[in-house]
Amino acid sequence: MKLKALLASAGLAAFAATAQAAEVELTLSHWVPATHMLQPGGMEPWAKSIGEASGGRIAITIYPASQLGAAPDHYDMARDGIVDIGFINPGYQPGRFPIIAAGEIPFLVANAKGGSRALDEWYRQYATREMKDVYTCMVIVHDPGTLHGTKGPIQVPADLKGKNIRPAHATMARLVNSLGAASVQVPAGEMRELISKGAADMTASPWNSIYTFGLQDVTKHHLDLPFYVTTFAFVMNKAKIDGLSPADRKVMDDHCTPEWAEKMATRWADAEAAGRQKMIDAGNHTFYKPTPDDVNLWKRATATLQGEWEAAATEAGVDAKAAWANLGETLKKYGADVK
């Protein structure tokens, strides 16, 4: 009854009508707005393709905006069967998923399209170990993001000292702390409230998400540098997918691939990249373009993060140096390595 009520309130009647006629009804829960390009540009086409490939046997109902639970809880929600499919940011739970955190290291992933395909392909060899409680369907990243603040300058690492900064994930939280800033970690949906109340001076975000989450009037200063990406995953309740018929299981497996990871990320990536030009056109934003020497300062400031990741991955039972090399090779294969 609770799900039906939420469905009605979300205005998702089209999905509901399909679900009621299907043999397998799946819930997909996420925590960004329904208008966020990830839903109309990624999740909805994916769900439609699954419905068509199954001949209408499988229907997916999408619940956006944390309707079914808080953003950091989505892995456990899928594990426990509260939802069938959860969209997760592993970095919202520091230390829990050290292997996939490789994707969080700045200056590693050059673009979201090839980057999503590469990270998904690379992580498949580790997913059953690190996310053993669920079925990991796919891994994606967003278009490279940067730092956005209420005041400037934001050009070199020293500009972060003494600031309160909302990081995108645990790796960035460690970075800003090492630079003399204080990290204030909240999910993306809470960025505006955090900054408008003065509890943070800066936030990490891809460009258009500043508009999506309503920060364009409070963050007017921007580090004009492709700095980092965030890793995300779609994870599914194991009992649910293991209980599917062989034909339906094949449909789901065919939609949980590196190719689908790239498709899922593509329209979102284009939308995020367009946000920078939107700010330029608005004319009331200040962009701080680092010089080559400034970029070297940023790279020097982030240099210890790879070693920290290797230590954590080794503790998790991974040959970290080989894994890191393989990740670099896979990114290069799909044109997503930083030159």
Q: What does the domain layout of the chain look like in residue ranges?
A: 2-143+229-271, 146-228+275-313
Strand partners, 205: 146
Q: What is the pLDDT of residue 22?
A: 87
CB 53 within 8 A of CB 251: yes
CATH for the stretch 146-228+275-313 = 3.40.190.170
User: Which pLDDT does position 19 carry in this prediction?
Assistant: 44
CATH topology of domain 2-143+229-271: D-Maltodextrin-Binding Protein; domain 2 (3.40.190)
Phi and psi torsions of 229, nearest 5°: -130, 165
pLDDT at 20: 53
Does the fold of domain 146-228+275-313 match that of domain 2-143+229-271?
Answer: yes
**Rounded-to-integer distance, Cα 257 and Cα 260, Å:** 5
| E strand or H helix at 77 | helix 74-79
Query: Is residue 141 exposed (0-12), middle (13-18) or buried (19+ Cβ within 10 Å)?
Result: buried
Please tell me the total number of residues recorded for the chain in this structure.
Answer: 339
pLDDT averaged per 10 residues in sequence order, the chain, 339 residues? 42 42 94 97 98 98 98 98 98 97 98 98 98 98 98 98 98 97 96 97 98 97 98 98 98 98 98 98 97 98 97 98 98 97
Has this prediction a pTM greater than 0.85?
yes
Beta bridge partners of 204: 147
Say if residue 144 is exposed, middle or buried (CB neighbours under 10 Å; 0-12, 13-18, 19+). Answer: buried
Residue 213, pLDDT score: 97
